[in-house]
Structure 1
């Protein structure tokens, strides 16, 4: 029976999640604060951690960081408000398995939990590291048909057959690992292993061990021999995601291994000869990281034999529909549903929204919308609030620009009514966001009754 720890400062949520997950066959512990939750991570040793981001004492990113230090392979799912999508992106960079957005849907949470618990992790016991973990799955990156997508295809096809080290730049969630897998699949190493390491998800203390391996007894806690990622990738490709997050000390050791193509496990004496192609990824330019003193220039030049820019989803125009159709097909298979496609209104929202979390955000939105859809087409009602209301939420910026160009001649009563409605819209929206879209709490915050709030939301099309 898998063990799940739930951390949320709302006792009712803890109680409901406990009942729901226990009913679904899990052993559950709950904690109503981040610090208490971290104590239970140590004592309960869960197989999965589900934590709210906004806690009373410390935030979810701190919980994630400390929990990963105690249990590096622990999958963590973070609960955020949809307005906190940038927060969600950051926790993914820090090593969260996934995030779910409020309002919470039991089926969605259960789906994410099952997927997280199925994910294989490299165990401390090297005897449990099997070849299947290192093998590459078929790359399924959908490039799209836009001019920027065609240029990306051209770059990938050009560099893939070589043995060049490649830096892959792109925003979080844009598909950098999928591009790396595609390069590997199109290379002469395609039958060798593809091994990925998220450098942002591993503490500095453990990064060296993960990369180079260690011998039993080489440091406190090294109870068994461990094979590092370089050894696992021998004869194939090693992908280092968010490489700029590695500490300066680890970068020094990494440079030596890259230069000599030999590695020693920590605490060991034997040198292991390597034949590994290295692909690295970063969401910031490594030249900027060098100027900040975060990244070694000599290591940068070792990696920078070629670089690839993965465009943000918002730059790719109609390609968003290529990805949406692909994610819908995958989700239909996963949920055993048969949703045919998207309404015209939804297609417009998909095209207009800026997708701060790129493909990862789009994938999560499609999964949730498919889960909520009962008919043949996904309708706007199944999309998150902020995607449907994105244009209205930009009103304040547009209004400021309009005010600058306005003259007294065009400030009539019609404009005054519009300004009043928009001000009311913004006040209601801000109140809803503050209470994670709980309408009763929002009504209390606005000092109106719930029925009045519903009427106003209906009139303002919130």
Structure 2
């Protein structure tokens, strides 16, 4: 059982984290300052450390230097807010294997812990190097790029555009791996030692988007109880990834365009302009050219974010990669669930290849994780695979699938009628993912 040490002076948050990680099968201890952490580390030698950056007596950087002097090679993940991300990057140069922004996303934290522990197993017992600029090998994303022609072409383009400073627009359906590609562009760029900040534009209320991007000063609006550092300042020198950029309101699009043109931002409620240097990578599963024609997306912003376009192939277009990804996700599920499955039986392999995968890689990962949990033998069988893969694509799917803007609304209404307004089944019938369907319902004002 892996032991984890939490160093967190927010006692409530520390206890919540300790309880959650204990349920995940870890042996967890928690302390509230660096002095107690040092005593625990010397006595217990934990397998991994989760440390807040700022603590009452010292900070995480002080702890890293102390560990380096002692020759202690223990994976350490820094927990921090936007305002301290530059310090988190400094901590990584001193040996921290990763950082995670608060509020902590549990799934993301679990993934980072897994990656850090994997990195620990593959490294030697030599002391931590505190050479500035040294990259942490444990921070490499757990991802498979694939061997199909579509994958090779995609990553050829990624390798070409990454070293430049061009703004990149990634087009692709949900679940195809757009954020991984954005992160890969950052890793291969000259900004790789600087922050990578990802923002889901679809989840930000439009009234808070300006604050999220540019920050705000205390008292600038109701609820602004403290100053907030926005993503543009947090990512200064690095890369900002704006996922689902088509969801931004027209007003925020204007502010974003100005920030990109002038390389200056102004926090909400402030008269002070701040100069920023960021590289922008955006992603969308919408047709932004159609949005421009409708007047919902600015053409000048489109050209600013679209100096280079990457198209993400769907999983179905990557037939040679389907079984590669299936085995890759099986390996991940084995590790996360403590199982030792060998693979898939012949019928399952055939079903995986024949299925149309409307949810792409994300859908496959979820299906295989569930099947791994249910499997009783050494191989995943059709019994564990789930009903959605047992059902062949509807014969009427090709007739109802969205073709063009003029008939889209009619097709959507017909799919909803056939499925009794079941959005999940309607999306499957239309051969699109649920997120795309929700965007279309909003676009056409279809209220269920």
Considering the TM-score relative to the shorter chain, is it more than 0.5? Answer: yes
Please give the alpha-carbon distance, in whole angstroms, between the structure 1 residues aligned to 2:154 and 2:244: 20
Q: Is the 8 A contact 2:86 2:195 kept in 1?
A: no
1:247 aligns with: 249
Which one of the candidate residues 348, 357, 360 is aligned to 1:358?
A: 360
Instruction: Say if 1:344 and 1:214 are closer, same or farther in 2 by CA, change over 3 A.
Output: same
SS of the equivalent of 2:283 reads strand
Which digits, 9 at most, give the CA deviation of each residue in 1:69-97, with x for residues without a partner?
Answer: xxxxxxxxxxxxxxxxxxxxxxxxxxxxx
1:42 aligns with: none
**1:318 shift after superposition:** 2.2
2:302 counterpart of 1:300? yes
Please give the alpha-carbon distance, in whole angstroms, between the structure 1 residues aligned to 2:191 and 2:178: 19
Instruction: Say if 1:162 and 1:205 are closer, same or farther in 2 by CA, change over 3 A.
Output: same
SS of the equivalent of 2:281 reads strand
Q: Is the 8 A contact 2:78 2:100 kept in 1?
A: no
2:329 aligns with: 327
Which one of the candidate residues 191, 194, 198 is aligned to 2:193?
A: 191
SS of the equivalent of 2:240 reads strand
2:281 aligns with: 279
1:182 aligns with: 184
Instruction: Trace 1:52-451 onto structure 2 (pairs within 5 A).
Output: 126=83, 131=88, 132-133=99-100, 137-390=139-392, 394=394
Aligned length: 289
Which digits, 9 at most, give the CA deviation of each residue in 1:366-419, with x for residues without a partner?
Answer: 11011111211111111110211226xx35779xxxxxxxxxxxxxxxxxxxxx
SS of the equivalent of 2:377 reads coil
**1:130 shift after superposition:** 6.7
SS of the equivalent of 1:253 reads helix
4+ runs deviating over 2 angstroms: 118-123, 126-141, 394-398
Please give the alpha-carbon distance, in whole angstroms, between the structure 2 residues aligned to 1:397 and 1:191: 46
Q: Is the 8 A contact 2:178 2:312 kept in 1?
A: yes
Instruction: Say if 1:249 and 1:323 are closer, same or farther in 2 by CA, change over 3 A.
Output: same
Please give the alpha-carbon distance, in whole angstroms, between the structure 2 residues aligned to 1:127 and 1:321: 41
SS of the equivalent of 2:376 reads coil
**1:129 shift after superposition:** 9.7
| Unpaired segments ≥5 residues, structure 2 | 1-11, 14-19, 25-76, 89-98, 102-134, 399-418, 426-448
**1:139 shift after superposition:** 3.0
**1:285 shift after superposition:** 2.4
Which digits, 9 at most, give the CA deviation of each residue in 1:317-344, with x for residues without a partner?
Answer: 1211121111111111111111111111
| Unpaired segments ≥5 residues, structure 1 | 3-20, 26-117, 399-429, 437-462
Q: Is the 8 A contact 1:141 1:179 kept in 2?
A: no
TM-score, length basis structure 1: 0.58
Instruction: Decide which moves more: 282-291 or 232-241.
Output: 282-291
Q: Is the 8 A contact 1:139 1:185 kept in 2?
A: no
